[in-house]
Amino acid sequence: AGADFECDMLVLGGGPGGYSAAFRAADLGMKVVLVERYPTLGGVCLNVGCIPSKALLHVAAVMDEVKHFADLGVSFGAPTVDLDKLRAHKAKVVGKLTGGLAAMAKMRKVTVVRGYGSFLDPHHVQVEETAGPGQDKTGKKQVVRFRQAIIAAGSQAVRLPFLPDDERVVDSTGALELPQVPKRMLIVGGGIIGLEMGTVYSTLGARLDVVEMLDGLMQGADRDLVKVWQKMNAARFDHIMLKTKTVGAEATKDGILVRFEGEGAPKEPQLYDLVLQAVGRAPNGKKIGADQAGVAVTERGFIPVDVQMRTNVPHIFAIGDIVGQPMLAHKAVHEAHVAAEAAAGEKVAFDARVIPSVAYTDPEVAWVGLTEDQAKAEGRKVKKGLFPWSASGRAIANGRDEGFTKLLFDEETHRIVGGGIVGTHAGDMIGEIALAIEMGADEIDIGKTIHPHPTLGESIGMAAEVAHGTCTDVP
């Protein structure tokens, strides 16, 4: 069959996984075609995920911080919020980054084809051209013939079927548009994405309710970390409904009327101006014609891969959200590099011991490796080193000493197996703990490494010394 494009490497999807794979493949000398349905590269993360959410969270954190400044002797007036300007700021941040990606693609001579891609067979993808800001099809179809391919088509927010189709019911993408600041907002799903968006809206003036099926917010994080976050954030919420489900909802002229069932359910249905569904993300595996190429897809839409990110069809790889949890940008990027390098014939494998997670809330909650609960469940004997920030000079100077740093070490080998931090800038510090785990560091390695004083990062060295029994800085 004739093809409009011929390439060594076809990358389907231009998110963190896709653009990283395309760039690495091009750097390794391959002729690369990158197919993306939206007008900009960057995928969920840059356009409607990591980056715009952090632009808004930064503003929220500053607004919250200055509230406490009166106690320090400096007072500001009540903030006035111009939503148009705030939206424009967010758009500018995103534009700067997606523009940078377009330039980098050009520099590397990666051909970006705009449109919706679907496999025709194991060596051809059909691209239905899309135009405008969305994915409106123009009717034009092009065919790309490829030697090898990397699938990086990502995921999308799960929609609850019983929530009404109404502009007051949004997913994270809708919430990031900042349509209005509601008086009362319901967050369905107490995970990172829901709590981050809730933080932004509550700082801008909304009262929050959150409903979560499981027995705690921020599942996956160490419970002690979450406790500190919850105490600091209690005032944002009217109801934190745990072990509770949303069972029905109705759009009325006064708001969305939601019914709940479970341990935390209020007796009466509750009325909200905005409902955010943040109950997880579903992979796009079933929407790309994978079967035409012979690529296996699970019932839920994930694409199984081996350690080199190869699907069951050896010349077709898959990476990022579409291959499984954790659905995080930094995981996608590392998988992308492995796939591109493996495709170029290098002997590589995805072999990360740990992948860090961060909730960019206030305070931030960051963790990596084993938690205490997981260690217990696995029957693994661990030694704990906990350094409370109430003993950190820097945290006290910042007026933010509610946090702590906790490290877990294997009792026999003394090597670090996990760690968590709750406090300001926790996310910026968790990389050191990830590095320590990857390097097989023990209590002494970390404790004897000289950290600069006075910093929050010092708390990592101190926590190691606590575990080792040599810390002189805690009572």
Catalytic residues: 453
Region binding ligand FAD by CB under 6 A among candidate stretches 49-57, 80-88, 177-185, 212-220: 49-57
Q: CB of 250: closest distance to ligand FAD in angstroms?
A: 26
Q: CB of 358: closest distance to ligand FAD in angstroms?
A: 7
Q: CB of 77: closest distance to ligand FAD in angstroms?
A: 31
Question: CB atoms < 10 A from the CB of 451, how many?
Answer: 17
Compare residues 159 and 448 and give the one whose CB is closer to ligand FAD.
159
Query: Residues 30, 35, 163, 211: which binds ligand FAD (CB under 6 A)?
Result: 35
Interatomic CA distance for residues 464 and 380, integer angstroms: 19
Is residue 311 part of the contact set for ligand FAD (CB under 6 A)?
Answer: no
Closest CA to 362 of 233, 181, 207: 233
The answer to whether 196 and 364 have CB atoms below 8 angstroms apart is: no
Compare residues 50 and 375 and give the one whose CB is closer to ligand FAD.
50
Sign (positive or negative) of CA dihedral 9, 11, 16, 19: positive
Interatomic CA distance for residues 370 and 407, integer angstroms: 10
What are the b/e assignments for 293-315, b being 16+ CB within 10 Å? bebebeeebbbebeebbbbebee
Is residue 151 part of the contact set for ligand FAD (CB under 6 A)?
Answer: no
Q: What is the 3-state secondary structure (H, E, C) of 370-439?
A: CCHHHHHHCCCCEEEEEEEHHHCHHHHHCCCCCCEEEEEEECCCCEEEEEEEEECCHHHHHHHHHHHHHC
Compare residues 336 and 370 and give the one whose CB is closer to ligand FAD.
336
Query: Residues 117, 174, 182, 356: which binds ligand FAD (CB under 6 A)?
Result: 117
Is residue 328 part of the contact set for ligand FAD (CB under 6 A)?
Answer: yes
Report CA-CA distances (Å) from 335 to 176, 208, 300, 307, 434. Answer: 27, 37, 21, 9, 17
Query: Residues 9, 26, 30, 50: which binds ligand FAD (CB under 6 A)?
Result: 50
- Angle CA(326)–CA(331)–CA(336) in degrees, nearest 5? 130
The answer to whether 441 and 408 have CB atoms below 8 angstroms apart is: no
Query: Residues 98, 126, 172, 270: which binds ligand FAD (CB under 6 A)?
Result: 172
Q: Pairing between strand 124-131 and 136-151? A: antiparallel
Query: Residues 22, 55, 110, 116: which binds ligand FAD (CB under 6 A)?
Result: 116
Query: Residues 98, 142, 148, 155: which binds ligand FAD (CB under 6 A)?
Result: 155
Is residue 279 part of the contact set for ligand FAD (CB under 6 A)?
Answer: no
Compare residues 339 and 446 and give the one whose CB is closer to ligand FAD.
339
Is residue 170 part of the contact set for ligand FAD (CB under 6 A)?
Answer: no
Query: Residues 249, 288, 370, 464: which binds ligand FAD (CB under 6 A)?
Result: 288
Query: Residues 10, 25, 26, 37: which binds ligand FAD (CB under 6 A)?
Result: 37
Residue type, 244: T
User: Which positions from 331 through 370 interact with ligand FAD, judged by CB under 6 A?
Assistant: 332, 360
Q: CB of 198: closest distance to ligand FAD in angstroms?
A: 12
Report CA-CA distances (Å) from 233 to 76, 209, 230. Answer: 22, 12, 5
Question: CB atoms < 10 A from the CB of 171, how many?
Answer: 22
Is residue 305 part of the contact set for ligand FAD (CB under 6 A)?
Answer: no
Is residue 193 part of the contact set for ligand FAD (CB under 6 A)?
Answer: yes
Q: CB of 331: closest distance to ligand FAD in angstroms?
A: 7
Interatomic CA distance for residues 406 and 383, integer angstroms: 10
Q: CB of 165: closest distance to ligand FAD in angstroms?
A: 20
Interatomic CA distance for residues 243 and 347, integer angstroms: 47
Structural tokens at position 7: 């390439």
Number of residues that bind ligand FAD (CB under 6 A): 36
Interface residue list for ligand FAD (CB under 6 A): 12-18, 35-38, 43-45, 49-50, 53, 116-117, 152-155, 172, 193, 284, 288, 320-322, 327-330, 332, 360
